[in-house]
Amino acid sequence: MKTPHFWALLPVFLFTMFLPILSAQTPRPLGKFEGCNFNGQKETNEVTYADVPNAQYRRHLDRVLRQVGLEPTKVDFQQANIDNAAAAIVDGRLTILYNPQFFDSIEIATKTKWAVYGVLAHEVGHLVNAQIFGEKNPEKRITMEFEADAFAARTLRKMCATRDEAQAALRTFGKVPPSHQVQKEFYPPVSARLNHVGQKWEQEDERITAEGNDPCRMIVSKFPLVLQEKAKRNLSKGVAVRVDDEKAVVQYDVPPHKRYRIVHTRFIIRNDADKWPKTFDWEDDLSQPGRGKRLVWYYTKDGFTRPEVEKNDLYSVASWENLPVPTPPWRLLCWGAVAAGGVGALFYGADQREQRKYLYDDVYAKYTRPDATIYTQTLKKTRDQVKKEADQHYTRERLSTLGGAAILVGSAAMIIWKWNKKHAYALVPERIGGTTGLGLKARF
């Protein structure tokens, strides 16, 4: 009998080796389990299958778990053919199941990752509160949902989500026709849940603010902005920012004043930054004074990292009565011309010094007799006239030298200051339209 060739047996060998891995990645059916869905589950006889979760959503869940002090390995996370997301006990393990299409749809509808965070935090709330998922009493089930919503609201505030972002996932259900709502007797109305989440977020925000240890808030600009040219002072006060993994929410005040009714507010960034902000939204009318005004910058879409954005000298918001203008080239040329005048004055002073030395040292001091030939025939001036002229050259020398030096140093300092890039900032346009922004010199 002929022995099989090695290459003929290789496929069988590889299949035998990787069979356990392939089996582990195959969706597995879950037995009957009780769970709490985010917004109900249609009655069905279909078997629920669990599969490997999306790595990004797994990271989202791990962040929520760490925020509430849970070890991520204690909670299983799997995608499944359910309507939305659910917290459950499967095979004795704390488990969160989710529909990947559901997560994708709410993220697209709300345009923020906080919608997914909100659902995950809600389901973690069910697990943390050790609720009875098989509860059939509608009143108790409604209370369970409110408790999970409150837990999610508090958790998202600690994670730096805004009030609207904490409500983002629920807002998507407000657009779903009532006929599509399932198990309505177990779930409060969406409007009531929205109000409850908003209230709990505000309470947590007040608590964190009162304690004075808000991890989501830091001062961007600690010093007043002093600009060259027309804009003399920055009207924006108390510029602060909340930074998360997706965006930076810049908050600032423009105190109302009887002197101005309209202000010019712009986003500014260091002129030597490698990248420029492009994806940002003004949530308020940036031409009107007011308090608590906000700018939301989606910095990850512009290629920035969180450590870069957390630098307090990278960017800020500034407001002026009149928009500042960059230093025009003709002004630099003018200062250059003034510097050239200073150099010319120094040369003139040097020439006067030579003439003074000749008349005084080589003539007046050397020839003491008034009737010397150099006076009567060469210069045709008296000795006293020669001394007087030497004194005049000395005066011109001093004035030209000192004045020229002052002009040269002053104009050179102005040119260096105008060209100084150490603290240069650039004014980002109100709306990006194929331009990189208007250059602006500023000093903090």
Q: Which residues on adjacent β-strands are paired with residue 51?
A: 79
Beta carbons of 170 and 201 less than 8 angstroms apart: no
Residues whose CB is less than 8 angstroms from the CB of residue 256 and which lie 6 or more positions away in sequence, other chains included: 289, 290
Question: Stretch 192-201: mean pLDDT, rounded?
Answer: 92
Residue 179 has pLDDT above 50, yes or no: no
CA distances from 330 to 149, 271, 417 (A): 62, 21, 15
Q: For residues 248 and 264, give the distance between their C-alpha atoms in angstroms, rounded to a whole number.
A: 21
Q: To the nearest whole percent, how much of the chain has pLDDT over 90?
A: 15
Of 51 and 298, the one with more pLDDT: 298
Q: For residues 243 and 321, give the distance between their C-alpha atoms in angstroms, rounded to a whole number.
A: 29
Please give the pLDDT value at position 409.
92
Strands (E), 177-257: 218-219, 226-227, 237-243, 248-254
Question: How confident is the prediction for the chain on average, in pLDDT?
Answer: 79
Helix (H, G, I), strand (E, B), or coil: what is residue 220?
Answer: coil
Phi/psi-derived region of residue 366, left when phi > 0, alpha when psi is between -120 and 50, beta in every other case:
alpha
Q: Which residues on adjacent β-strands are paired with residue 318?
A: 266
Q: For residues 49 and 34, give the distance between their C-alpha atoms in angstroms, rounded to a whole number.
A: 14
pLDDT tens-place string over residues 77-115: 888 888 788 888 888 888 888 888 888 888 888 888 888
